[in-house]
């Protein structure tokens, strides 16, 4: 959805890109360069939809609606509309979503372990395959929960050192599925679509990430090997790294 200024009423119109992105508005009507950029990119469209939803909720609960509307329009004119590329827009949307979501992050979970098949087991595998595997490398998983507990957002990163690939998704809207459990759908940084589940209990958490729809064969599709289930503990991401 795209935030636009109505002629008579200062408000937010929720626009999405064309039907390929489940549009609720015909992006053929997009006029500005920024609107066209958002319409052309599924992630920016999703970010705009997320921001529109957060804005509507925040406006409904605001005791100073006129001031809140003015603040949003100032952000559109002076921050969002100054962008000339998708990276700039993505960064501005992320910052604004975090502002409207509340304290960020409120929870962090992390794990870091030595890459599988090291030592004797690695040597046996290398003899059988003829491939030399990395030694002394670590993979890590980071999860951050943002925003208000009633409407949480999740970031995650899963990194494997053998390929140097990370699978990431940022500011993904979650739904609560029982005490301590969050469920979400996402598009990762390679374009693969997936679903995830974060089960939290005390200082422990389990992240499960599954494929829903992979992109066409290529380097990004290889990143699906990072999907799976991981056991994490509540600590700052990056803890223990040298």
Q: What is the DSSP letter of 237?
A: T
Per the model's pLDDT, the better-predicted residue between 126 and 171 turns out to be 171
| 18 band by pLDDT with thresholds 50, 70 and 90 | very low
Per the model's pLDDT, the better-predicted residue between 241 and 101 turns out to be 101
| 222 band by pLDDT with thresholds 50, 70 and 90 | confident
pLDDT at 12: 38
Instruction: Give the C-alpha separation, 185 to 131, whole Å.
Output: 36
Percentage of residues in the chain with pLDDT exceeding 90?
27
| 227 band by pLDDT with thresholds 50, 70 and 90 | very high
Give the domain ranges of the chain: 19-101, 107-234
pLDDT at 83: 93
Percentage of residues in the chain with pLDDT exceeding 70?
75
Q: What is the DSSP letter of 71?
A: H
pLDDT tens, position by position, 180-210:
899 999 989 888 899 999 999 999 999 999 9
pLDDT tens, position by position, 147-170:
767 678 889 999 988 777 899 998
Instruction: Give the C-alpha separation, 4 to 8, whole Å.
Output: 12
Which stretches of the chain are assigned E, i.e. beta strand? 107-114, 138-146, 153-160, 165-173, 175-176, 181-187, 193-201, 204-213, 228-234
Find the mean pLDDT for residues 15-21.
37
pLDDT tens, position by position, 48-69:
888 888 888 878 877 778 888 8
Other beta carbons within 10 angstroms of residue 218's beta carbon come to 11
How does the average pLDDT of the chain come out, rounded? 77
């Amino acid at each position: 959805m795209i935030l636009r200024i109505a002629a008579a009423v200062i408000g937010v119109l929720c626009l999405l890109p064309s039907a390929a992105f489940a549009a609720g508005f015909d992006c053929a009507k997009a006029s500005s360069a920024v609107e066209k950029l958002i319409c052309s990119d599924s992630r920016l469209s999703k970010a705009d939809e997320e921001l529109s939803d957060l804005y509507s909720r925040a406006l409904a609960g605001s005791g100073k609606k006129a001031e809140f509307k003015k603040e949003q329009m100032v952000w559109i004119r002076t921050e969002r509309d100054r962008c000339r590329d998708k990276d700039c827009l993505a960064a501005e949307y992320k910052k604004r979503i975090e502002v409207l979501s509340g304290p960020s992050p409120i929870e962090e979970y992390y794990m870091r372990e030595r890459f599988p098949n090291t030592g004797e087991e690695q040597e046996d595998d290398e003899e059988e395959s003829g491939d030399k595997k990395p030694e002394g490398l670590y993979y890590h998983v980071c999860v951050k929960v943002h925003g208000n507990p009633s409407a949480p957002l999740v970031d995650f990163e899963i990194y494997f050192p053998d390929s140097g690939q990370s699978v990431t998704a940022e500011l993904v809207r979650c739904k609560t599925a029982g005490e301590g459990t969050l469920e979400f759908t996402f598009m990762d940084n390679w374009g693969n679509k997936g679903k995830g589940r974060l089960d939290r209990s005390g200082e422990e958490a389990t992240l499960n990430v599954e494929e829903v729809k992979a992109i066409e064969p290529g380097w990004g599709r290889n990143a699906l090997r990072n999907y799976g289930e991981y056991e994490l503990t509540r600590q700052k991401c990056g803890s223990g790294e040298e």
